[in-house]
Amino acid sequence: MSVTEQDVRAAAPSNAPEDVLEWVAKIAELTTPDAVEFTDGSQEEWDRLTAQMVASGMFTKLNEEKRPNSFLARSLPSDVARVESRTFICCEKEEDAGPTNHWADPTEMKATLKEKFTGAMKGRTMYVIPFSMGPLGGPISQLGIEITDSPYVVCNMRIMTRMGKAAMDLIAAGKPWVPAVHSVGMPLAEGQADTAWPCNDEKYITHFPETNEIWSFGSGYGGNALLGKKCFALRIASTMARRDGWMAEHMLILRLTRESTGQQFHVTAAFPSACGKTNLAMLQPTIPGYKVETVGDDIAWMRPGPDGTLRAINPEAGFFGVAPGTSYKTNPMAMETGKANSIFTNVALTDDGDVWWEGIDGDVPAHLIDWHGKDWTPASGEKAAHPNSRFTVPASQCPIICPDWEAPEGVAVDAVLFGGRRATNVPLVAEQYEPAHGVFIGASVASEVTAAATDVKAGSLRHDPFAMLPFCGYNMADYWGHWIEMQKKVGDKFPKVYQVNWFRKDEDGNFMWPGYGENSRVLDWIVRRAAGEVEAIDGVTGRYPKFEDFNLDGLDIDEAVWAKLFAIDPDAWAAEMDDTEEYFSQFGDKLPAAITEQLAKFRARIAAAKA
């Protein structure tokens, strides 16, 4: 017997408003679940659902002494990552989605989704998750409700968002909310046994920016199913931000405190994948006198504050990080954050009930259970953990979480960083010449493809403007235009933009810059620039530090190596600007005139360098 409207009303908490009840009843009528639960984010609920998933085989409880209150999940090989080819922006005009998004007609997609979701939750429980992205009730925060038939999603959303009664109270008070519907797309016939990881081979991750709706079908994994993450916090939020005069960005946020004076600086940074974003968010400075604290590791929502500064919040309550390569050497703070109350997905299981992945500290074990649930030894010839395996961990457990990470008004941003993985020609750090040049830096970000990408030759460049390529909910050229408008709106208080590159190599293929904690030296120069304490010199890609102003104490970097870190090949840059112009051309008349002007200015600087 499927859920009726009376069942929905009977299950609902007393603070659920009428519009929510009507919507939930409508989705229940479409999807025909066997039961409905309104989630509250309580410990009792967590204990009940995790025990339920252990019993079903979806979760494995980890060693309580080594990893208290933590669990391992294994997905199917067909459901291990975001599915960009099945991710759609459904707006009335195709040009509003732009050439870098997959567009679908909203009326046609709604018809397809109606067919897919009809009866999709049969045999399952429908969970209703009220949640807040950002601190509850804050001026930059937003509310949503996700409906899902996956208890895995409920438990992950408990870590990643502020979920439960307090969020529903705000919705009941009349605050706007984003409706998000998710199903794994695997209805169960009466008496049919479930699988440990139900999902459908056919997947749809769809966004309707004009109505602020999200519908996701077929996947149970990550950002395809945790709809507060990329779907809401970037794709839908970016369109909301454009309409309402704020910014939703794929950026970490950190606080750098100068211990001698107590001065605080806040930096946001956008990098494509495999460029050290989480490592920078949880940086351990190697130079004395500075302390770094983490505000956020992945997403920043920014809005002009009452004092005129651009203020940023982390809309998430947890970190959903890539496990392989994370260790006490590369990111000790991330390792400490995941010591308890965490969910690990698609990593390996040790014989003593702990987690393991490639790149973690210590020797490789002689035996593991791999992410497929099979016996594994070093001779197996396959990775024990999936390359995109993840940890879902509460941000509050991070030892260096910023005391103001939940400040509703956000933190005032002093600098914005863009970077990619570039072995040649991109200097260690460069400051914008003018605001529009800062947007040009972000718009022209290109990063070298790693060997993990099978569709593109390793080492070739992939454009990923603002690290937002898969996440911008509307036309990318309009997004650049919105940045230019926000710069004008905020004026002189808009933070300066910097291009950074930790990955420069010498003629022997060795990294010239040590990276990791040493990146604090770059931040040191950037905040001294923000404070007006040091000058910069003009270069082709931007304004560079003077050798004598940069803290290189203890590093084996002399003026000759320094010169290599900032050397540029004018011919190579001329060729790259030709490639950039070709990339920009796909946006046609929507490309902001300021971007075209910056391209011309860049070429003029290249020509001057050749002279």
HSE-up (13 A, CA, CB side) for residue 97: 21
191 is in an annotated binding site: no
275 is in an annotated binding site: yes
389 is in an annotated binding site: yes
277 is in an annotated binding site: yes
482 is in an annotated binding site: no
What is the token pair recorded at 178?
Answer: 């984003």
362 is in an annotated binding site: no
If you search the block for the tokens 């002007």, which residue do you land on? Answer: 597
Known catalytic membership, residue 231:
no
276 is in an annotated binding site: yes
250 is in an annotated binding site: yes
516 is in an annotated binding site: yes
Can you say whether the dihedral through the CA atoms of 490, 593, 440, 540 is positive or negative?
A: negative
HSE-up (13 A, CA, CB side) for residue 422: 27
231 is in an annotated binding site: no
If you search the block for the tokens 């001057």, which residue do you land on? Answer: 608
User: Which H or E run contains 564?
Assistant: helix 559-565
- E strands present in 414-572: 415-419, 429-431, 446-448, 461-463, 496-500, 536-538, 543-545
Selection from 481, 500, 489 nearest residue 415 by Cα = 500
What is the token pair recorded at 528?
Answer: 């001294």
On the 0-12 / 13-18 / 19+ scale of CB atoms within 10 A, 366 is exposed
Assign residue 535 a region: left if phi > 0, alpha if psi is -120 to 50, beta otherwise? beta
- E strands present in 224-347: 247-249, 252-258, 263-270, 290-296, 300-304, 310-313, 318-322, 343-345
517 is in an annotated binding site: yes
User: Which H or E run contains 404?
Assistant: none
SS3 165: helix
588 is in an annotated binding site: no
134 is in an annotated binding site: no
What is the token pair recorded at 554?
Answer: 């203890």
Question: What does the alpha-carbon distance between residue 516 and residue 281 come to, in Å, rounded to a whole number?
Answer: 11
| Pair 106, 215: CB distance under 8 Å | no
The DSSP call for residue 379 is G
Name the pairing type of β-strands 142-148 and 125-133: antiparallel
On the 0-12 / 13-18 / 19+ scale of CB atoms within 10 A, 325 is middle
Of the residues 91, 199, 275, 402, which is catalytic? 275
Backbone phi and psi for residue 95, each to the nearest 5 degrees, phi listed first: -65, -25
Annotated binding residues for GTP, as ranges? 274-279, 390, 421, 516-519
Annotated binding residues for substrate, as ranges? 82, 221-223, 273, 388-390
Annotated binding residues, as ranges? 82, 221-223, 230, 250, 273-279, 298, 388-390, 421, 516-519
Annotated binding residues for Mn(2+), as ranges? 230, 250, 298
Catalytic residues, by residue number, are 275
